[in-house]
Amino acid sequence: MSNPSFKLNTGHDIPGLGFGTFDPRYPEKAYDATLHALHAGYRHLDCAALYINEELVGKAIHEFLESRPDVQRKDLFITTKAWNHMHEPEDVEASIKESLRKLRLDYVDLYLLHYPIATVKDEKGGEAVGADGKYIVKKELTENPEPTWRAMEKVARDGLTRAIGVSNWSVSRLRSLLKFASIPPATNQIEIHPFFPNTKVVQFCFDHGILPVAYSPLGSQVLTCGEAEKARGQQALRDIATRKGCDIGQILIAWGLRRGYSVIPKSFTKSRITSNFQRVELTDEEFKAIGDAPGGKYTRFVDLSVEYSYDNFWADEEDR
């Protein structure tokens, strides 16, 4: 079964099923995992400056294209992201140029602001930490991101990226952004899985021509803050997977795709990378059962708010 695609508001297509390159436990494995993913058929790679592995991902892309003359750069969809301490206008351009250098690319297909939170740089160029042990937030730039977004629009107009977007933005932040954006965000990459369906944000995005992109679509098995209920432990999900002769990851991917957005599962295990790309179809009953599995108990698995000195980190926590 082929990988579906979705149309962005730029007119470009984005593959529905992508490959997430983040694993803080094994950043050195990004090369092998990415190369395997490309050979397995993935054409959508999700990267970020934060992941500290763009050079390895870039090496994999370069070697794959060298070995496969039937696949060209235009056949790939590469996303990367600016981290929080790179929100000043001059830093936005510097950040994407550094990512392009590491990825060995002339352009990316999508460039995102990783979070809506702008932070202070330290003397080494990283995020500054305050006396409370938390990252220091630039409140003014966080609450008025127009200068940052103007810089995002500039790198798009300069051809460094084909589309720009955001990640982890709430309804209220998106609504504010759309009031001044000359180029609206093409995507909003957010945590979405049955245990955090993010329905209000997803619907707002659909209503305003912004494609949701789901990270942690399998429920985060790598970065879990607090007491989070793991999706793989649910009996209802195991039963559906058993009946269909597939694994739980495949049915969770199918659930996200059927909701109408791109999903980017992550695994550095080769067998799992391959199985995640093998699509399954859900019946109406199965689709509903997966969505009902949490029983109305929703949990954000990836929550960095405790690491930042800012009370309004998520802005609309009721938007689930």
244-296 pLDDT per residue, tens: 999 999 999 999 999 999 999 999 999 999 999 999 999 999 999 999 998 88
312 within domain boundaries: no
CATH number at residue 212: 3.20.20.100
Any domain includes 318: no
Which strands make up the sheet holding 164-167, listed edge to edge? 19-20, 44-46, 77-82, 110-113, 164-167, 187-191, 211-215, 262-264
pLDDT of residue 300: 86
pLDDT at 319 over 70: no
Torsion of CA 183, 184, 187, 192, to 10 degrees: 160
Residue 81's DSSP bridge partners are 112
Which sequence positions are flagged as catalytic?
A: 51
Quick check: is 313 in a domain? no
Residue 245 confidence (pLDDT): 95
- Residue 13 per-residue DSSP state: E
Does the structure show a pLDDT above 80 at 233?
no
* Inside any domain, residue 29: yes
pLDDT at residue 227 in the model: 41
pLDDT tens readout for residues 93-139: 999 999 999 999 999 999 999 999 999 999 999 999 999 999 999 99
d(CA 300, CA 306): 13
- Return mean pLDDT, the chain: 93
Which residues constitute the domain of residue 55?
A: 5-307
Confidence of residue 316 (pLDDT cuts 50, 70, 90): low
pLDDT at 198 over 90: yes
Percent over 70 (pLDDT), the chain: 94
Tokens of 156: 């798009």
Q: What is the mean pLDDT of residues 18-46?
A: 94
Spell 199-213 as b/e; 16+ CB within 10 A means b: eebbebbeeeebbbb
Over residues 285-294, the pLDDT tens digits come to 999 999 999 8
pTM, rounded to two decimals: 0.94
Cα separation, 229 vs 297, whole angstroms: 9
Q: Packing angle between helix 284-292 and helix 235-244, nearest 10 degrees?
A: 160
Strands 19-20 and 13-15: unpaired
The string of DSSP codes covering 45-72 is EE--GGGS-HHHHHHHHHHHHHH-TTS-
How does pLDDT run across 59-86, given as a tens digit for each residue? 999 999 999 999 999 999 999 999 999 9
Residue 253 within any structural domain of the chain: yes
Q: Is 114 annotated as a binding residue?
A: yes
**Residue 319 counted as domain residue:** no
Does 316 map to a domain?
no
- For residue 315, being part of any structural domain is answered with no
pLDDT, greater one: 227 or 181: 181
pLDDT, position 226? 43
**Per-residue pLDDT at 225:** 45
Provide the domain count of the chain: 1
